[in-house]
């Protein structure tokens, strides 16, 4: 059972990273970005095209370029929907479905429908602890997730930008009164989210491989993690991701892997009925 849980934790970290990107945007703009997966996938494709897939750049340079590209695209996307967002968050949310389709179309147009391999530049290492195999990939996922979560925490808890982000997410009126530019804060969350997306995608594709749909499909599970975390809580979604990873792995192993989607939906429904505000809402209940 230990190896099953262990693998679940590693996969769960990936769900957490995906969920964090969704929650960043939801917290500031109260909308869901359904294009998150497709845009992140597009970033991963750029890395592939710049490295093994053709240009032959060093991996780090390709990742840096992909991150810059993702930032530019997120600014563009926010520019497109900002006006819709002012009217209603639901309208903007629906617009992201269209943006997701455009991104997917771009992938198919530029890179075709083939499946590609895109690995992390890691050595073939594996060692064993307590009967569990641990590979360089597992270590990379865990440490990348840890670093991302710590960096995000520091930015949000320790910087002026973080103060602005938290104010906009909980009390937008207070933020406006203080002369904050709400759209700048939105932009911050979109840009951060896009970078989280690319990082998550790069960590996901070594197991799932890269096609026009893999990252989008993966983000559906990240969406479940975000829902279980309450959708407006960053720590909640991080924990939600690991919870989803472990429970899905246990379910697949002990019950039936082909019923995994059914299980995931049931899990989401159950968590919405028992913890409507997310798994951490009990503990922070006094936060009105």
Partner 1 sequence: MTDQLLVEEIVAGYDGKVAIEDVTLTVARGSLTALLGANGAGKTTLMKSIAGLVVPFSGRIRFDGTDVTGKDARRLVEMGVSYVPEGRAMARALSVRENLVLGGMTRSKQDNREQIEVVMSLFPEIAGRQHSPAWQLSGGQQQMLAIGRALMSRPRLLLLDEPSLGLAPLLVKRVFERLEELRRTGLTILLVEQNYWITMKIADCAYFMRNGRIVGRKEAAEMRSAGSPEEILSAYLGSTTQGTNPS
Partner 2 sequence: MFPLLPDYALSAASSAQYALDVLGKDKCALIWQNDELGRRAKFGLDLVLSSRKKTILTDVSFDVATTDLSAQIQRVSAAGAEVVLLFGSNAHLASALRSAARISWKGTWFAPFFTADPSTYELTGDLLDGVYFSSWLLPLDADRPAIEAYRAVVPKYYPNDKLGVFGLNGWTGASLFAVAFERLLSSGKEPTRENLIAVMNTIDGVSAGAADKITFTAGDHRGTRQEVMIRAEAGKFRLVRDFSPYPQVVFDAVSK
Binding site for partner 1 (CB under 8 A): 160, 163-164, 166-167, 170-171, 173-181, 286-288
- Residue closer to partner 2 (CB basis): 126 or 181: 126
Q: Which of residues 81-120 bind partner 2 (CB under 8 A)?
A: 114-117, 119
Distances from the Cα of 187 to the Cα of 158, 165, 172, 181, 251, angstroms: 19, 10, 15, 10, 39
Q: How many residues does the chain have?
A: 288
* Interacting partner of 209 out of partner 2, partner 1, none (Cβ under 5 to 8 A depending on kind): partner 2
Burial letters for 212-228: b for 16+ Cβ neighbours within 10 Å, e otherwise? bbbbbebbebbbbbbbb
- Residue closer to partner 1 (CB basis): 177 or 220: 177
Q: Kindly state whether residue 217 participates in binding partner 2, applying the rule CB under 8 A.
A: yes
What tokens appear for 170 in the block?
Answer: 């909980």
- Residue closer to partner 1 (CB basis): 53 or 162: 162
* Interacting partner of 262 out of partner 1, partner 2, none (Cβ under 5 to 8 A depending on kind): none
Q: Kindly state whether residue 135 participates in binding partner 2, applying the rule CB under 8 A.
A: yes
Q: Which of residues 224-283 bind partner 2 (CB under 8 A)?
A: 248-249, 252-253, 257-258, 260-261
Quick check: 210 and 37 in contact, CB under 8 A? no
Q: Kindly state whether residue 212 participates in binding partner 2, applying the rule CB under 8 A.
A: no
Quick note: the x/- pattern for partner 2 over 2-21, rule CB under 8 A, is -xx--x---x----------
Q: How far is the CB of 114 from partner 2 (least distance, A)?
A: 8
Mark residue 153 as left, alpha or beta (left: phi above 0; alpha: psi -120 to 50; beta: remaining).
alpha
* Interacting partner of 174 out of partner 2, partner 1, none (Cβ under 5 to 8 A depending on kind): partner 1
| Dihedral sign from CA coordinates of 184, 186, 192, 197 | negative
3-state SS, residue 54: coil
Distances from the Cα of 82 to the Cα of 67, 77, 223, angstroms: 22, 8, 22
* Interacting partner of 181 out of partner 1, partner 2, none (Cβ under 5 to 8 A depending on kind): partner 1
Among 78, 84, 65, 109, CA closest to 185? 78
């Amino acid at each position: 059972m230990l190896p099953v849980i262990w693998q679940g934790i590693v996969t769960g970290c990936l769900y957490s990273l995906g969920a964090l990107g969704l929650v960043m945007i939801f917290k500031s703009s109260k909308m869901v970005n359904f294009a998150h997966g497709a845009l992140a996938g597009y970033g991963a494709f750029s890395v592939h095209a710049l490295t093994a897939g053709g240009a032959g750049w060093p991996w780090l340079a390709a990742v840096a370029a992909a991150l810059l590209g993702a930032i530019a695209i997120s600014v563009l996307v926010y520019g497109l929907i900002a006006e819709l967002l002012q009217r209603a968050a639901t309208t903007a949310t629906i617009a992201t479905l269209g943006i997701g389709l455009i991104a997917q179309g771009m992938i198919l147009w530029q890179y075709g429908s083939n499946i590609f391999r895109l690995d992390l530049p890691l050595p073939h290492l594996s060692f064993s602890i307590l009967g569990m195999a641990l590979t360089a990939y597992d270590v990379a996922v865990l440490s990348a997730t840890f670093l991302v979560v710590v960096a995000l925490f520091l930015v949000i808890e320790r910087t002026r930008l973080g103060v602005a982000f938290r104010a906009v997410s909980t009390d937008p009126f207070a933020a406006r009164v203080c002369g904050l530019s709400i759209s700048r804060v939105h932009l911050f969350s979109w840009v951060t989210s896009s970078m989280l997306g690319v990082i998550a995608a790069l960590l996901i594709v070594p197991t799932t491989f890269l096609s026009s749909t893999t990252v989008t499909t993966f983000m559906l599970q990240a969406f479940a993690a975000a829902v279980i975390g309450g959708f407006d809580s960053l720590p909640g979604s991080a924990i939600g991701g690991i919870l989803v990873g472990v429970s899905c792995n246990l379910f697949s192993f002990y019950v039936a892997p082909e019923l995994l989607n059914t299980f995931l939906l049931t899990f989401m429904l159950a968590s919405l009925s028992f913890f409507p505000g997310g798994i951490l809402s009990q503990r922070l209940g006094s936060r009105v």
